[in-house]
Structure 1
Amino acid sequence: MSKKNITAESLFDLYSVANPNLSPAGDRAVFVRTHMDKEENKYVSNLFHADLASGQVTQWTYGKNRVSSPAWSADGSKIAFLSDRDGKNQLYVLSAAGGEAERVTDFANGVSAFAWSPCGKKVWVNGAVKKDKSFTDKEEEKKDKNPEPVVIEKMKYKADGLGLLPQDLFRQIGIVDLESEEVTQFTEGDHQYGLNTVSPDGKKIVFSVNRAENQDFEFRGGLYLADAESKEEKAIIDQDGYYGGAMFSPDGKKIAFIGADRRLENATHADVYVYDVASGSLTVLTESLDAPVGDLVAADFQQGTETPAAVWAGNDALYFQVSVMGDVRLYYATLEGELYPATPENEHVYGYDVTKDGKTALITASNPVHPGELYAQEISTGERKALTSFNAKFIEEHEIAKPEPIVFKGPKDWDVHGWIMKPAGFEEGKKYPLITEIHGGPHTMYANTFFHEFQVLASKGYGVLFVNPRGSHGYSQEFVDAVRRDYGNGDYQDIMAGVDYAIENNDWIDTERLGVTGGSYGGFMTNWIVGHTDRFKAAVTQRSISNWISFFGVSDIGYYFSEWQHGAVMDDVEGLWDISPLKYAANVNTPLLILHSEKDFRCPIEQAEQLFITLKHMGKETVFVRFPEADHNLSRTGKPNLRIERLDQITGWFEKYL
């Protein structure tokens, strides 16, 4: 039986399995499964339970809403989770013996995070509270809803995915008593508190906060240890950079967390830190590792991938993710200095938990030909057992193209890593077009993970080249930093060297039918490429940057991103213009499709508007497609129908010109 091609609509047939969470005894687990509902045009996720001994998997929640953040009570009798089934995310508690989940909060602005108190009778919560109000105070619905102006006094006044930020909402921490349903607010003031964790004896909590009055030039999130009764607090770390994901060791004597300082601004590798509660000493556990801690993958498939920053195995060892050479692997480290990978190469571990003895890991993992499932892995032997098979039928029925890893030399004789994917149904002796894909960031990475868009292109008869040029994460600190103050130079040369390498080593590539596409930074680079070479016969730029001068003032991150990445502020108009693709519009001879989201606040749509009008005014071949109700993350989390349309626009453009 011939296998089916993967299409844009295949997204509706796939399941994302994520967020595994082990019971305290380590014999059972819960996880979240998400799929795209075509009829409802939305994402639906539900809670599932797995018995590790029998391998039996049971669906525990139903309905057409989202669930997230499942967590067991300390005695294993209950599971709490967040769900938007009543509109905003609220906290629900479900008995581990089964039954109906009970909603335990009715907060005006929902719940963003929570942590069980070890007693199992209380839950610490995080949620937005209006100034001078409480968690549960709700605004009266106005009968006549007239538009009201918004007064802006701060530069950090908007955010992609959120829109204009409310000026009078502050994230606070509180405690919910499950028996009395009483809610007590723990923090106060006009600050944004982030709940991290609760100590094993329930007497202390860790939270993040920056109490500076003007946050416009504050790029730090300190961590604090507070007494649950007296509220007396002590700084764990309070310096430039972002720190979070704190977790107490089982004996409560140490706190592990991850963070990155600002030595190289947003290009700095993240590390694992360990804080000694008694002495106040701080150790960087991953100091010898020249790779970033965490999952830095650029992909388009996985949903609901909440992962712990680190998980303790006993009181003197930790597990955590590391992005390295196109993989995301689980690493093991002891407080004495041992450090090594605990999962194999050539895959993307995008979710995990570990038993208290450190012997068994529960992971969700994907690779380039597998969308991902839930596995139990014995750490010492590497033996792995699949607990779910939601995508097995899809894999069996569809032809999935397998990328081949490549390594080539860029400028400075640096090794650059990437992959090349032959078209589905590849036939020897036949010539095929090649599309080069460029990731965003630039500080992310392509990886050994399932990428639906690449599979769609391969199924349409295209080869796909995707590389990690300088600036990409997963490699050395020098490599990730090398793109800063050098946009359009070394990174451009790395990408073009990848194209040259692919052509030299694959005689099936038709050099007269080359295409290029990318989003965000990849959109900038697509714009840059077509302004500097005519090698590509068609290009698609997505959520792109065309003018760094206007980007400075219109992006939610523009006024500091430009300084971090280019070393340039608005008084360096000439410097910003020199690296703006718009400057080179007259050189563009490649037919260019421009895709952009109406509600993109990261790379606002005016960037696309400037590019389109300029090219059109010059008589260039270009089309502009605007996506309503979509933000910067259209390709990853956008409305299902718009994601399908986006892919159809891309493949339609390449079909027309290649």
Structure 2
Amino acid sequence: MDPSEAYRIRFATDISIGGGWAYFTEKYIKDDEYHSVIKKVDRSGKVVQVTFGGNERYPKAYGEALFFVKYSKDKESLMRMDGISEPREIASFAKISEYAYIGEEVYVIAQDTADNTQPFEATDIKYRFNGRGLLRSFNSLYRIHEKPEKIYSGHFDVIAIRSNARRIIISTTENSNDYGLIDLFEIDADGKKLKRITKEPAEVNDFSVSESGRIAFSGYYGLDVGRVSNIIFPEEGIEIPLGNDAANSVIGDSFGGSHYRLVFDGDALYAIGQERSSSYVYRIGDKAERITPENRNIVDFDFKDSLAYVYSDMENLSVVNFGTDYDLNPGVMGVKADSFELDGGECFAMVSSKENPSILFIHGGPHTAYGNTYFIEFQYFYRNGYNILFCNPPGSSGYGQEYEKACIGDWGGRDMHYLLKFVQECRSRYGLTGKIGVTGGSYGGYMTNWIVTQTNEFACAISERSISNLFSMIGTSDIGFWFNALELDLKDPYSKEGMQKLMNFSPISYVKKSKTPIMLITGEEDYRCPIEQAEQFHVAMKMNGVESVLVRYPGDNHEHARTGVPKNMVDRIRRKTEWFERHLKK
């Protein structure tokens, strides 16, 4: 399989029900650029393409009107189409993140254009953010009359807006912008703040307002890591668990993206929850009830009298279900992995031949999970003659609170021993005789760097968007100042004890012990795990006489393996293939 073939695929997202149709965005790559169109499907399975420009996304139907976002490199415009009339522009901004039609008013959350040529003065801890760069502008709430009117803004982001036509609720980071925690507020039609809904800043996955005015959100109060989300009714003081987590952290590597949704239909509440390696849509009443099948990952959904959702599984890349399935890639069929239990977690293996070399993949997070979703890279390397090994070690989401918190304060301890035990189990269970390589991204990149300093088990390694020095990451990552401290259970990372602990858990501290050839891949605009992390490890390995290659991708950030520059993603797969071929097959 050629690397370019891996990305000749299509993904659905942004699903929204209206007028008996389920509208969605279909995203694809053409001429080394991302494109998308809007389509709609009815319950019989009839599919109709609605837009044809290749630069439209995020459809919502309100009565007879269809709204969507039209984008270019310079601006994004909210468009309205009534019936079969030509779409007309409502308003334009630098970037649109959310919109809503409430009563007869259109509200848009968007960013103004910023002048990137001017000097920048940082006064906050969080002054830049992955995917956004320097925070020169923030998301503000606009009301659209003849022209946009900014009605709620500040040195923070407005995140989302929901309404039942009587109550308007917005979410913002105004009380905790450095840490990205969210509060819910009720406002009037002019943007005047009426009431704070949340009792303190919270991690909010999504929120919704019912017809009768009930407010619910998925998440938890306070700053934490590895915390399981619940469904919370903040005005009533009620919390309801959902599966093993009222969130969805099953990860893939698609450029289509995914959404967490919480939807009231009347007074019935629907939400996504995760159980082990799958996610589901639940109906929440006196108890939570699954309403979607097992062994799938829910990418997006909507509910208006009936359910429409987008899902992926190991065999099917992207499917829209609105009573019947619409497969966006009917010629693509993935291989389903074998699975087994190990010490409270799940393990997976795609064995092409016991004589073939194997690749251990380590997920990021650490509080995410591999699972029942199509993974482009797994399928690609399997088809190119490798065995694919992946698992959910302690710290992974979906297995309950105790399991998800198990790696905190112990990165590279129980999690690494689980990974090594998993590899030995695969050797025994499947009779594997070939060489084994290791790769991972983000926290998986940290674990890759860590493992090669602790063992010579692997013939080679590829570490992506990685971490090598947890101390220097405190001051260079957009979230490192709080994330690293919480993950290592530190009160003050700049205390003598804090600095020492950060270095004790840093792969760079043990680099003299590494003998494993390594390739380090990163985006030059990665602000989550900054490129200096890979640079440090590369230089140290070279100075110790160990084979090391550093690959830097201009224009790419922390999402370089999922939504990176298309030609870079193809080049990345090609380079990984050549590295594994040389070290594992020859």
- Normalised to the residue count of structure 2, the TM-score between the two structures is 0.94
Partner of 1:29: 22
Per the TM alignment, residue 304 of structure 1 is displaced from its structure 2 partner at its CA by 4.2
Correspondence for 1:564 among 464, 486, 489: 486
Q: Which residue type is aligned with residue 91 of structure 1?
A: L
Is 1:205 the counterpart of 2:168 in the alignment?
yes
Q: Which residue type is aligned with residue 16 of structure 2?
A: N
Is 1:433 the counterpart of 2:357 in the alignment?
yes
Is 1:479 the counterpart of 2:403 in the alignment?
yes
Structure 2: distance between partners of 1:230 and 1:445: 39
Partner of 1:58: 48
Partner of 1:382: none
- C-alpha root-mean-square deviation of aligned residues, in Å? 2.1
Is 1:488 the counterpart of 2:412 in the alignment?
yes
Go from structure 1 to structure 2 and tell me whether the alpha carbon gap of 1:211 and 1:593 turns closer, same or farther (over 3 Å shift).
Answer: closer
Correspondence for 1:368 among 295, 305, 314: 314
Identity %: 28
Structure 2: distance between partners of 1:613 and 1:421: 35
Partner of 1:20: 15
Is 1:306 the counterpart of 2:259 in the alignment?
yes
Q: Which has the larger radius of gyration?
A: 1
Q: Deviations over 1:559-610 (max 9, x none)?
A: 1111111123022222111111111111111111111111111111111111
Q: Write the mapping of 1:128-207 to structure 2, written as runs, cut at 5 A.
A: 128-129=111-112, 148-166=118-136, 169-177=137-145, 181-199=146-164, 202-207=165-170
CA contact (8 A) 1:206 1:246 kept: no
Partner of 1:653: 579
Go from structure 1 to structure 2 and tell me whether the alpha carbon gap of 1:203 and 1:105 turns closer, same or farther (over 3 Å shift).
Answer: same
Q: Deviations over 1:314-366 (max 9, x none)?
A: 31x221111211001111210xx22121112111111111233xxx3211111
Secondary structure, counterpart of 2:357 in structure 1: strand
Correspondence for 1:254 among 191, 205, 214: 214
Structure 2: distance between partners of 1:204 and 1:128: 24
Structure 1: distance between partners of 2:46 and 2:421: 50
Q: Structure 1: state its 5+ residue gaps.
A: 130-137, 378-384, 410-414
Secondary structure, counterpart of 1:371 in structure 2: coil
Per the TM alignment, residue 86 of structure 1 is displaced from its structure 2 partner at its CA by 6.8
Q: Structure 2: state its 5+ residue gaps.
A: none
Partner of 1:412: none
Correspondence for 2:282 among 331, 350, 353: 331
Q: Write the mapping of 1:73-152 to structure 2, written as runs, cut at 5 A.
A: 73=62, 76-85=63-72, 87-95=74-82, 97-107=83-93, 109-118=94-103, 121-129=104-112, 148-152=118-122
Q: Which residue type is aligned with residue 596 of structure 1?
A: T
Correspondence for 1:389 among 285, 302, 327: 327
Partner of 2:58: 69
Per the TM alignment, residue 393 of structure 1 is displaced from its structure 2 partner at its CA by 2.4
Per the TM alignment, residue 210 of structure 1 is displaced from its structure 2 partner at its CA by 4.2
Per the TM alignment, residue 69 of structure 1 is displaced from its structure 2 partner at its CA by 2.3
Secondary structure, counterpart of 1:394 in structure 2: coil
CA contact (8 A) 2:441 2:463 kept: yes
Secondary structure, counterpart of 2:139 in structure 1: strand
Partner of 1:421: 350
Go from structure 1 to structure 2 and tell me whether the alpha carbon gap of 1:22 and 1:587 turns closer, same or farther (over 3 Å shift).
Answer: same
Structure 2: distance between partners of 1:431 and 1:189: 60
Correspondence for 1:353 among 273, 278, 302: 302
Secondary structure, counterpart of 2:254 in structure 1: coil
Secondary structure, counterpart of 2:196 in structure 1: strand
Go from structure 1 to structure 2 and tell me whether the alpha carbon gap of 1:51 and 1:616 turns closer, same or farther (over 3 Å shift).
Answer: same
Partner of 1:380: none
Is 1:401 the counterpart of 2:335 in the alignment?
yes
Structure 2: distance between partners of 1:195 and 1:515: 43
Partner of 1:135: none
CA contact (8 A) 2:317 2:332 kept: no
Per the TM alignment, residue 405 of structure 1 is displaced from its structure 2 partner at its CA by 1.1
Secondary structure, counterpart of 1:233 in structure 2: strand
- Normalised to the residue count of structure 1, the TM-score between the two structures is 0.84
Q: Deviations over 1:512-564 (max 9, x none)?
A: 50110000100000011111111111111111101111111111111111111
Go from structure 1 to structure 2 and tell me whether the alpha carbon gap of 1:635 and 1:241 turns closer, same or farther (over 3 Å shift).
Answer: same
Is 1:597 the counterpart of 2:523 in the alignment?
yes
Structure 2: distance between partners of 1:188 and 1:371: 39
CA contact (8 A) 1:368 1:449 kept: yes
Correspondence for 1:224 among 185, 192, 205: 185
Q: Write the mapping of 1:30-49 to structure 2, written as runs, cut at 5 A.
A: 30-37=23-30, 39=31, 41-49=32-40
Structure 1: distance between partners of 2:73 and 2:90: 12
Is 1:297 the counterpart of 2:250 in the alignment?
yes
Secondary structure, counterpart of 1:186 in structure 2: strand
Structure 2: distance between partners of 1:247 and 1:302: 27
Correspondence for 1:237 among 191, 198, 213: 198
Partner of 1:506: 430
Q: Which residue type is aligned with residue 271 of structure 1?
A: N
Runs (4+) of structure 1 exceeding 6 A deviation are none
Q: Which residue type is aligned with residue 183 of structure 1?
A: P
Correspondence for 1:618 among 521, 544, 562: 544
